[in-house]
Amino acid sequence: MDKLWMYLQIPFVQRALIVSVLIAFCSALLGVTLVLKRYSYIGDGLSHVAFGAMSVAAVIGLTNEMWLILPVTVLCAVLLLRAGQNTKIKGDALIAMVSVGALAFGYLLMNVFSVSSNLSGDVCTTLFGSTSILTLSEGEVRLCVILSILVFVSFLFFYNKMFCVTFDEEFSRAVGMKVDLYHLLIAIMIAVIIVLAMNLVGSLLISALVIFPALSSMRLFKSFRSVTLFAAAFSVFCAVAGILISLLFGTPVGSTIVTVDTFGFLVCFLIDKISGGIRK
Amino acid sequence: MMNRKKKTVFVSSVLTLLILFINTACEKRQGEMGAGHSASSQTGVESLLQSGLDSVEQEDFVTAPGYTSQTSALPSEDVIISFTTNEEGVEIDLTQLSSGAVYAVVYDMTIRPETYCGKSVKMHGAFATASDEEKGVRYFACIVQDATACCSQGIEFVPRNSSKYPEGFPDVGGECTVTGTFDVYTEGETSYITLRDATLSLD
Amino acid sequence: MALLTIKDLVLGYESRSILAPLDFQVQNGDYLCIVGENGSGKSTLMRTLLHLQAPVSGEVIMGDGLRANEIGYLPQQTAVQRDFPASVAEVVLSGCQGRMGLRPFYGTKEKELAEKAMKQMHIMDLGRRCYRELSGGQQQRVLLARALCATRKLLLLDEPVSGLDPKVTAEMYDLIEELHKQELTVIMISHDIQAAIRYATHILHIGKEVLFATKEEYCESEIGKAFLGRGEQ
């Protein structure tokens, strides 16, 4: 379509596509591990923490908010992933507490200290990511590229170790692997991706980026490697499709991406059911 | 046990510092408030609209006195939209874009106005107006909303013909298409963006 | 020197002991079965042997050139694992992680090791199958193959036949016996005292009283007789 071609020429659309491909790719990779460890909702929890940190940074008046958002989110990721190891219930409840508390606190701060002229707009954009992805500067794109490459390279390098730790933590410890180090690594990667992904789909919808590709992929594929690869491809496809659709039809970017993800999952679910679930 | 904790804290701090260092080295945009990207520079109309002034009277409108036009000669380093002149001679035709894209461009205009100075802009949106009783000045603006309709952004415009309002103008909230030349002016300490020599067509 | 020497080992949590001090040795080529009541501390002992848990006091000394990353472990399965999307080959290969250090990718040596382990467990034909589609018995064999990859000398098994039907249980015991015959030292936690008597060389009974003895001595002892008697009823 001509319109599509026109959009693809626009620099801010190109930037949005580059960034969303990278973010979708990385979150899908980590999503498989998270879903298997039953930490699906951690994306949500961490994004709310990031929102809270962002409010604090705005109130303090930091020019570059990343100085506060990234460390706080990384710290929370480490705490949440560690605490959940002993009892699953603890992990669940802790994520919920931190998530809701941070969101409320952040919104309260922004209200009380009125740092922005359009409070509900700000909050709405952060929660739903309406246009943040379309208004990225070159610097932000560069940061995203560098961080995504770092996450991807780490993931590749530690892939086999993370598989072993995710599949069986006890066994990994017994054979002398530094399980805590890998947990820390996963926590840091998650935190970085979450903070980046807030730009794409906003806080409330981040879980979708993490969960849907992994679940869709696990319906169809039998080995961990193929599950991971397909999850990444699925996520990238849905993100690109979502952005293009939202540009063409004037729909909100974040929700469109998540809706495409949902349809994709349904398609995979149906294929699985129809083919009887057995496929080489 | 203590050793492991110390190591954990050390490793996470090092990695975080590294990431932040990279971030600062790359970050070019300064002075942004809120990841929600709220407009840090206001349009004159918005400030008036927010203070609740909205009187519809027939009156001569006067251009805001005491302004200095700033056609900045800053190089457009970080351009998010390409300027290609269409058949009408308009360089930035926002009527071809969907609401999300339009909002993105308008938002960028409020953040980096120097990139757009002197360019001709055509945009479609909701008509708004307000008058400043003290200065005896009437402002006009074209308001666009983003796709979720929770944020709106407006650009003031200065009509070419000094006609009497409300003749020849749409109702407040009505759809209109505005074509004008982008410019930045200062009133007191605040900069405002506007479209000069604007032609207005009603839809 | 003995493969494993347990000296005055007191198991427990946070300086609260759950058992009398343990004192025994495991020699190369032994087949030790740890039996006892439910909750008596068998799994705790195994975890302490693997250094997954610190004892209240006492030592676990590894001799004969045995290193921590040379012990094969077959823990009880978790719900997460039963549903895990991974191929059998991937699971077995992951057993080689102990000897990988920081190396990111498996080499030919590791792949050959995994193949050998799969052959020993008679699961070569299952290589590409998805782990979660296998039966309980097949899954246990895969996990045993994984444990084999991690070890050259010592295998620790935590209730390897729990939840398996009798035929599969017998097959599993046969497999373990084969491994034992191939010079692997086996330490196994089992609820099945009859099987323990049949296959083991030594028995460690944990409960109100602790007894470490050879199979024959155990059968003659008071504790052994009482436990066996109960089992037969």
Q: Give pLDDT tens digits for C139-190.
A: 999 999 999 998 888 999 999 988 888 888 888 999 999 988 888 899 999 8
Q: Which residue has the higher pLDDT, A164 or B36?
A: A164
**Residue B18: inside a domain:** no
Q: What's the pLDDT band for B11 if we cut at 50, 70, 90?
A: low
> Quick check: B46 pLDDT over 50?
no
Q: What is the pLDDT of residue B56?
A: 30
pLDDT in tens, A172-207: 988 888 888 888 888 889 899 888 888 777 887 888
Q: For A215, name the nearest residue in chain C, comparing CA atoms only.
A: C85
**Residue B136: inside a domain:** yes
From chain B, pick out residues whose CB is under 8 angstroms from the CB of A117.
38-39, 42, 46, 50
- Sign of the Cα pseudo-torsion (A227, A231, A232, A233, in order): positive
A189 touches chain B (CB under 8 A): no
Cβ pair A225:C52 closer than 8 A: no
Mean pLDDT of chain C: 85
Cβ pair A147:B22 closer than 8 A: yes
Encoding tokens for residue C26? 């495991």
C100 touches chain A (CB under 8 A): yes
Cβ pair A63:B31 closer than 8 A: yes
Measured distance CA(C85)–CA(C80) in Å, rounded: 10
CATH code of the domain in which B61 resides: 2.40.50.140
Cβ pair A223:C128 closer than 8 A: yes
Q: What's the pLDDT band for B24 if we cut at 50, 70, 90?
A: low
Cβ pair A188:B34 closer than 8 A: no
Cβ pair B101:A10 closer than 8 A: yes
Note whether C204 and C186 are within 8 A (CB): no
Q: What's the pLDDT band for B76 if we cut at 50, 70, 90?
A: very low
B66: domain range? 39-202
CATH topology of domain C1-66+154-215: Rossmann fold (3.40.50)
Q: What is the pLDDT of residue B50?
A: 43
> Quick check: B196 pLDDT over 70?
yes
**Which residue is associated with the tokens 């000669």?**
B73
Cβ pair B148:A138 closer than 8 A: no
C81 touches chain A (CB under 8 A): yes
Measured distance CA(C202)–CA(A160) in Å, rounded: 37
> Quick check: A262 pLDDT over 90?
yes
Measured distance CA(C54)–CA(C71) in Å, rounded: 17
C199 touches chain A (CB under 8 A): no
Q: What's the pLDDT band for B68 if we cut at 50, 70, 90?
A: very low
CATH topology of domain A2-274: ABC transporter involved in vitamin B12 uptake, BtuC (1.10.3470)
User: How many C-beta neighbours within 10 Å does residue A219 have?
Assistant: 18
Q: For A128, name the nearest residue in chain B, comparing CA atoms only.
A: B148
Cβ pair B78:A137 closer than 8 A: yes
Interface of A with B in 136-155 (CB under 8 A): 137-140, 142-143, 146-147, 150
As for how many domains chain B has, the answer is 1
Distances (CA, A) of A170 to A182, C46, C81: 14, 12, 12
Measured distance CA(A21)–CA(A149) in Å, rounded: 12
Mean pLDDT of chain B: 68
Q: Are strands B137-145 and B120-132 parallel, antiparallel or unpaired?
A: antiparallel
Q: Which residue has the higher pLDDT, C162 or C223?
A: C162
Q: How far is A87 from chain C (nearest CA, A)?
A: 13
User: How many C-beta neighbours within 10 Å does residue B62 have?
Assistant: 11
Q: For A37, name the nearest residue in chain C, comparing CA atoms only.
A: C80
C171 touches chain A (CB under 8 A): no
**Residue B17: inside a domain:** no
Q: Which of A35, A38, A175 to mutate against chain C (most C CBs within 10 Å)?
A: A175
Q: Phi first, then psi: what are they for B120, rounded to 5°?
A: -85, 135
Interface of A with B in 114-133 (CB under 8 A): 115-118, 120-126, 128, 130-132
Of A85-99, B93-107, C146-160, C180-194, least confident by mean pLDDT is: A85-99
Measured distance CA(A170)–CA(A179) in Å, rounded: 9
Cβ pair A125:B147 closer than 8 A: no
Cross-chain CB nearest to A10 (options B8, B35, B81): B81
Measured distance CA(C206)–CA(C71) in Å, rounded: 22
Cross-chain CB nearest to A121 (options B78, B147, B151): B151
Q: Is the peptide bond before A11 cis (omega within 30 degrees of 0)?
A: no
Q: What is the interface pTM, i.e. ipTM, of the complex?
A: 0.87
Query: Which residue(s) pair with B156 in the sheet?
Result: B141, B194
> Quick check: A224 pLDDT over 90?
yes
pLDDT in tens, A36-55: 888 777 888 888 898 888 88
Closest listed residue to residue B36, CA positions, set C163, C77, A105, A135: A135
Note whether A106 and A203 are within 8 A (CB): no
Q: Which amino acid is at A86?
A: N
From chain C, pick out residues whose CB is under 8 angstroms from the CB of A164.
94, 97
> Quick check: A265 pLDDT over 90?
yes
Cross-chain CB nearest to C98 (options A176, A223, A224): A176
Measured distance CA(A40)–CA(A34) in Å, rounded: 6
C73 touches chain A (CB under 8 A): yes
Of A238-252, B141-155, C98-112, least confident by mean pLDDT is: B141-155
pLDDT in tens, B135-174: 777 888 888 877 766 777 888 888 887 566 677 788 888 8
Domain boundaries, chain A: 2-274
End-to-end CA distance of chain B: 72
From chain B, pick out residues whose CB is under 8 angstroms from the CB of A184.
8, 11-12
Cross-chain CB nearest to A167 (options C81, C105, C147): C81
Q: Are strands B190-202 and B175-187 parallel, antiparallel or unpaired?
A: antiparallel
Cross-chain CB nearest to A160 (options C104, C130, C133): C104
User: What percent of chain A lies above the pLDDT cut of 90?
Assistant: 28
Q: What is the pLDDT of residue C143?
A: 93
Q: What's the pLDDT band for A252 if we cut at 50, 70, 90?
A: confident
**Residue B144: inside a domain:** yes
Q: What is the mean pLDDT of residues A123-136?
A: 76
Q: What is the pLDDT of residue A118?
A: 65
Note whether C101 and A253 are within 8 A (CB): no
Q: How far is A134 from chain B (nearest CA, A)?
A: 6
Q: Identify the chains in contact with C, defined as 3+ C-beta pairs within 8 A.
A: A
Interface of A with B in 63-92 (CB under 8 A): 63-67, 69-71, 74-75, 78
Task: Name B149's Cβ contacts closer than 8 Å, sequence gap at least 6.
Answer: none
Domain boundaries, chain C: 1-66+154-215, 77-152
Helix axes B2-26, A66-83, angle to 10 degrees: 150
Q: For A154, name the nearest residue in chain C, comparing CA atoms only.
A: C104
